Structure 1
Amino acid sequence: MRDSIAEILDQQVPGATLEWIKVADVPRYLTGGRPQPDDEGHMIITRAGIALPFALSVISLGRKLEILQGAFSWVAVRLDQPGNRKDQV
């Protein structure tokens, strides 16, 4: 998560440095799947996601230190198809 957020900040403001990040609230998780054949009660996970509220400190050349708040989200689908998996941040 930290690396993804640092990369996003650097894309928005080249040279931006993420100093710290703090989880601001309880993360929210979601998974989905389908029943596993011939194994009652078990699932094959096919998709998953997380949303994580945060606060962070970022600084870049020629700018003052900023404290920002936001939510990091990650979703992956086709987890049961390793060669076709797709992730989005």
Structure 2
Amino acid sequence: MGTFAEGPPEELVAAAAAQPGGWVYEIDSAWVDDPDGHVPPEAIRGGWKVGDDGRLTGEFHENPRYAVVRDDYSALDEPDQWMGWLGENPGAYVREQIADILNRQVSGSVLEWLLLRERARCLTGARREEGDGDPVLVTRTGFVVAFVLAVRPPHGRQAVLNGVFTWAAAGLDRPGARRDRVWFDLDAGLDWAEEQLKTRIYEVGG
């Protein structure tokens, strides 16, 4: 890739003129509607090099991270993290929770895609039960994971949002006493959310 049979599109020429000596990037519209908003790396097909005169040089570099539009829950798949509290498909659970939150904020909103970023950070509380070898019982647990997502309201443009999703549960050692809670923090960082989890995990179930 690097040439156009009938010349480059006008919008690409205009973008190049505004970036002399730089690059203009080709964004897959299947990922995002607004290329001037937040764009995940997977949505960038590649970049066109611009000469110092503001003209396209014809040089195109493909983005190795470019991918077809899809959800990605691999941040929950680390082998030393047990997510069995969320069922057989933890990623689907997180997606369902986020979709519900977005729909409650704006009724009819559709979660188009969801990327869970980095490695989820977990916190677990336990107690030791006397007798029978003094087994250790998990009493409460939770995790935080960063996300990027696209949501489309029923009457409006797609919005690309990022932030942190938090889940915590308590009463895991008492049948029938389990309580779950989730938090959805837009534009928040993973380090901040991890600190909040240390308090939030004890807010569940009183």
TM-score exceeds 0.5: yes
Structure 1 regions of 5+ residues with no counterpart? none
Runs of 4 or more above 3 Å deviation? none
Partner of 1:73: 166
The alignment of Structure 1 onto Structure 2 pairs a total of residues equal to: 88
Larger CA deviation: 11-20 vs 25-34: 25-34
Partner of 1:58: 151
Separation in structure 1 between the aligned mates of residue 112 and residue 175 of structure 2, nearest angstrom: 34
Let me know the Cα RMSD of the aligned residues.
1.1
- 1:57 alignment partner, SS class: strand
Separation in structure 1 between the aligned mates of residue 123 and residue 149 of structure 2, nearest angstrom: 24
Scaled by the length of structure 1, what TM-score is found?
0.92
- 1:14 alignment partner, SS class: coil
From 5, 11, 36, the counterpart of 2:129: 36
Partner of 2:141: 48
Cα offset, 1:81, TM superposition? 0.8
Partner of 2:120: 27
Whose Rg is larger?
A: 2
Q: Larger % of strand: which? A: 1
RCO comparison, higher one (Cα < 8 Å, 6+)? 1
Separation in structure 1 between the aligned mates of residue 140 and residue 114 of structure 2, nearest angstrom: 27
- Amino acid in the other structure paired with 1:50: F
Cα offset, 1:25, TM superposition? 1.7
Cα offset, 1:35, TM superposition? 1.5
Separation in structure 1 between the aligned mates of residue 175 and residue 102 of structure 2, nearest angstrom: 29
From 98, 102, 115, the counterpart of 1:9: 102
Structure 2 regions of 5+ residues with no counterpart? 1-93, 183-206
Cα offset, 1:2, TM superposition? 0.2
- Amino acid in the other structure paired with 1:69: N
Cα offset, 1:37, TM superposition? 2.2
Q: Percent identity?
A: 39
